[in-house]
Structure 1
Amino acid sequence: MQTISSFAEAFDYILTLKPPATHKMTPGERTFRVSRMRIFLEYFGHPDRAYQTIHIAGTKGKGSTAAFLASILTAAGFRVGLYTSPHVSDPAERISASMPLRQPSRLRELIADIETMLSQFAPDVLPGGFDITPFELVTLLAFLYFRETDCQIAVIETGIGGRCDVTNVIQPIASVLTPIDYDHTEILGETLEKIAKDKAGIIKLGVPAFCGLQPPEVKAVFREESRLQQTTIRFLDEALTTFAAQTLRDGTVMTFAFDGMTPQTVPLRLSGGFQAENAALAALTIRHLFPNLSNQVIGTGLSEAFLPGRMELVADTPPIVLDAAHTPLAIRRALEAFQQMFPGEAILIFGAVHGKNYAEMARLLSPAFREVIVSTPGTFKQSEPEDVFYAFQQHHPHPRLEVHPNNALRLAQMLAEKQTPIFVTGSFYMVAEIRSLLKTA
């Protein structure tokens, strides 16, 4: 085995073991993956039971809400693990823990243990055969890593959906549901109700659930699932007695309060009113789980949380803001935040992967930008930049197509003349491409 001393090297090695699938996932395959994960965890002595967990599902704001939760728990003195996906710049963004491994070489040993496990299972032993995905192995690595680093609580974000996601093998102390939108409809369903039904699969018997802002039809699905699971669910809009958010270029100032709580004002490092909503959902969850935590601890945790690629201001001349929004709802909220940060004309770099609703995103974004540049969001996932360009042609007078992200960035910078702000959005992978180019410039 090659030398592995970082998560980047571990992630690359896992991709050599199991390359990403090139076909669409079927409902049956999703079920197989959950069953396989249970077998893998049993093989390793159930590492997921060595610590408590908080489980998060949703379409928008999962990663940010997870980061807020982990940051509050860290501020409270817990040893915390955080598992999110995908990463923007570094695979280490996916798996993090308060404490490091006792020996750096242990990461290589964990990968070797996983490889040994794979060699010991014959295809006919595993549900669905040997069509194991990299996401399954990275998730397994996270569960093992959190045990190795003596985590007390791990915050676990789902990959796709909830009910049949490979993370849905844990018994959490709380289930958290962020806003639902149309995404992965070919897998989860074509309606918000069907998508919500899948996401609601993380609600467990007797485990309290906490829910961000949702349309009425989604609320109804979550209420019914909570009833079936004989548990309580708290909705953010019903719990808040005070809420206000001011978006700044370098973050957000939020004021919030729940029943019986003095209003609290907290500066966030993440910009956008929707980030204040994510922060409030995290605070609501923590308030219930740990009622004795002080406002100061919660405020400290919220103010220290950060994730790259979320309304992230990465340059000043010209200003460049990155946001990984990739659904119409997320685009609408991100655009609102960007225009609060930078009123006036601006330049857009946009790239979306295959299967996303880029036609609706093009409709929402086009009127807000003087210049639109469509590009390719990397090569990790399939994309059709020419089709995306055509979608923008329906709504913008003169969009431009620059297939190579480097050319798209250079064109945007030239058009900006060091002063017009540039907004990069459409997918995690578009943000990752531009962020990487800026770091190496």
Structure 2
Amino acid sequence: MQYPEAIDYLYSRLPVFHRIGSKAIKPGLGNTLALCEALGNPHQKFRSIHVAGTNGKGSTSHMLAAIYQLAGYRVGLYTSPHLKAFTERIRLNGQPIGEDVVAAFVTKHRALIETIEPSFFEVTVAMAFDFFAQQAVEVAIIEVGLGGRLDSTNVITPMASVITNISYDHTDILGDTLPQIAGEKAGIIKAGTPVIIGETQPETVDVFRDVAVSLQAPITFADQQYAVEDNGVVNGFRQATVSHGGVSPRTIELDLLGSYQLRNLATLLTTVEVLQLQLPVSAGDVEKALAAVTSLTGLKGRFQTIQNSPRVIADTAHNQAGLVALFETVQTLPYEVLRIIIGMVADKERANVLATLPPTAVYYFCQANTPRSLAATDLQVEAAEVGLLGDIFADVNTALAVALQQASPNDLILITGSNYTIAELIDL
């Protein structure tokens, strides 16, 4: 079986979340455990850091991977969803898994897959763990797919569990209150294993503390350890002054320019500190890595500049909290007219999301080529109800072409609303 055949097999045979949403989820960890057992329990053969959270878990995972990679470790990175190619989900020292490796795995284990009948995500997780074990990674950064307690990645026993923050997303699956959502994400906390919580939130702090105490897991709230002051974008980097205890403040530069990344900064610095005895890294390596995350790990779609004059920025924000954070950064930029290209999925609550969008912008409504995508016509109608006006387009690239034709050199074009919308950009 060649790579195209293997990918077609995975997509056609197995339920895939990005195509059919929550129907693709197979509750429980049984399938993943069965796959791992048949593969020789690869998840027990490497050290790992488990990263969950509503927003920021992908960026935090990539930044942690960059730090340990630059420090000389052999680093695995598992994230989802991918933007352009399936192989982006599984990386070794920043490089995607080989297409031949994917094809060989599917070919070799086809009978196993057909016996267990796992989901697409469960197979992907098992493939990643098998690859990391075979490659003898020294640490793997594992991003949770959805929630935590019942997520397929939750078969690992990590060196540390990291939860960035809690806000409303996937409420049909995780619950419709912040404590309920926090309870699901707290499911990645393991007995005696350090847990780092990125943001202290009144609604969720007791949830995390109670679980940590019950499991005797040392808990640290990152925003109580590090104070981060935004210095804005300086010489092409997001610059911050970081203070920590009695240590002299230091300046850190990020190549990820969104101001919301500063919330992730305290989280990952705390994680590195907690693991310093097991995975020592120098302050210099941390600073160099954070200035080069995109080149070290291949991360895309996080306040990414596609072109200048007019400036075009792509960002995968797709829920209310993510978009609020995104527009905090947008408001710091100079522009004459803000033009927003947006596509969304149909199986998420949208009223609060649309309420966060600026009514003064010019809108270009589009839809991604996936069954989960909300029709652009429906998005236009729902947006108009809250005063957001614009035209509809068949896809994101058509919308961008028109926006570029209509824009002046000093306008800002923002593309957002869904991973799937960003993924279809030709020039990403």
TM-score, with length taken from structure 2: 0.91
Out of 222, 231, 237, the position equivalent to 2:208 is 222
1:411 aligns with 2:402: yes
Q: How does 1:174-253 map to 2 (within 5 A)?
A: 174-241=160-227, 243-247=229-233, 250-253=236-239
Cα distance per residue 1:53-96 (max 9 Å; x no partner): 10011110010000011111112211000001111222232110
1:170 aligns with 2:166: no
- The one-letter amino acid paired with 1:29 is K
Partners of 1:26 and 1:227 in 2: CA distance: 34
Cα distance per residue 1:214-253 (max 9 Å; x no partner): 4211122111111111111111221114533424694411
Partners of 1:348 and 1:101 in 2: CA distance: 31
Partners of 2:414 and 2:95 in 1: CA distance: 36
Quote how far apart the aligned CAs of 1:272 are: 1.8
**Pair 275,241 (structure 1): closer, same or farther in 2 beyond 3 Å:** closer
1:338 aligns with 2:330: yes
1:70 aligns with 2:58: no
Q: How does 1:71-220 map to 2 (within 5 A)?
A: 71-98=66-93, 105-119=100-114, 121=115, 126=116, 130=117, 132-220=118-206
1:383 aligns with 2:374: yes
Partner of 2:47: 52
Q: How does 1:317-396 map to 2 (within 5 A)?
A: 317-369=309-361, 371-379=362-370, 381-396=372-387
- The one-letter amino acid paired with 1:117 is L
**Pair 19,201 (structure 1): closer, same or farther in 2 beyond 3 Å:** closer
Task: Indicate the SS of the match to 2:154.
Answer: coil
**Pair 318,168 (structure 1): closer, same or farther in 2 beyond 3 Å:** same
Task: Indicate the SS of the match to 1:313.
Answer: strand
- The one-letter amino acid paired with 2:266 is A
Identity level (%): 31
Partners of 1:169 and 1:37 in 2: CA distance: 8
Quote how far apart the aligned CAs of 1:276 are: 1.9
Out of 276, 283, 305, the position equivalent to 1:295 is 283
Partners of 1:316 and 1:244 in 2: CA distance: 24
Cα distance per residue 1:173-205 (max 9 Å; x no partner): 000001111111001101111011000000000
**Pair 242,209 (structure 1): closer, same or farther in 2 beyond 3 Å:** same
- The one-letter amino acid paired with 2:27 is R
Task: Indicate the SS of the match to 1:362.
Answer: helix
**Pair 233,390 (structure 1): closer, same or farther in 2 beyond 3 Å:** same
Partners of 1:349 and 1:145 in 2: CA distance: 38
Quote how far apart the aligned CAs of 1:149 are: 1.8
Partner of 1:313: 305
Q: How does 1:392-403 map to 2 (within 5 A)?
A: 392-396=383-387, 398-403=389-394
Partners of 1:54 and 1:372 in 2: CA distance: 40
Quote how far apart the aligned CAs of 1:368 are: 4.6
Task: Indicate the SS of the match to 1:354.
Answer: coil
Count the aligned residue pairs: 421
Partners of 2:11 and 2:65 in 1: CA distance: 27
Cα distance per residue 1:411-438 (max 9 Å; x no partner): 21122134411001101011112x22x3
- The one-letter amino acid paired with 2:137 is C
Quote how far apart the aligned CAs of 1:17 are: 3.4
Partners of 1:101 and 1:158 in 2: CA distance: 18
- The one-letter amino acid paired with 2:281 is L
* The 10-residue stretch of structure 1 (134-143 or 374-383) with the greater mean CA deviation from structure 2: 374-383
**Pair 320,116 (structure 1): closer, same or farther in 2 beyond 3 Å:** same
Cα distance per residue 1:105-134 (max 9 Å; x no partner): 444322222213224x3xxxx5xxx3x211
Quote how far apart the aligned CAs of 1:10 are: 5.0
Structure 1, unpaired ranges of 5+: none
Out of 259, 266, 269, the position equivalent to 1:283 is 269
- Judge conservation of contact 2:21–2:372 (CA < 8 Å) in 1: no
**Pair 359,113 (structure 1): closer, same or farther in 2 beyond 3 Å:** same
- Judge conservation of contact 1:62–1:178 (CA < 8 Å) in 2: yes
- Judge conservation of contact 1:249–1:271 (CA < 8 Å) in 2: no
Out of 235, 257, 281, the position equivalent to 2:243 is 257
Task: Indicate the SS of the match to 1:372.
Answer: strand
Quote how far apart the aligned CAs of 1:135 are: 1.0
**Pair 9,324 (structure 1): closer, same or farther in 2 beyond 3 Å:** farther
Partners of 2:63 and 2:395 in 1: CA distance: 34
**Pair 54,368 (structure 1): closer, same or farther in 2 beyond 3 Å:** farther
- Judge conservation of contact 1:366–1:396 (CA < 8 Å) in 2: no
Partners of 2:268 and 2:7 in 1: CA distance: 29
* The 10-residue stretch of structure 1 (234-243 or 67-76) with the greater mean CA deviation from structure 2: 234-243
Partners of 2:95 and 2:343 in 1: CA distance: 36
- Judge conservation of contact 1:181–1:329 (CA < 8 Å) in 2: yes
**Pair 390,212 (structure 1): closer, same or farther in 2 beyond 3 Å:** same
Structure 2, unpaired ranges of 5+: none
Task: Indicate the SS of the match to 1:87.
Answer: coil
Partners of 1:205 and 1:229 in 2: CA distance: 4
**Pair 358,377 (structure 1): closer, same or farther in 2 beyond 3 Å:** farther
TM-score, with length taken from structure 1: 0.89
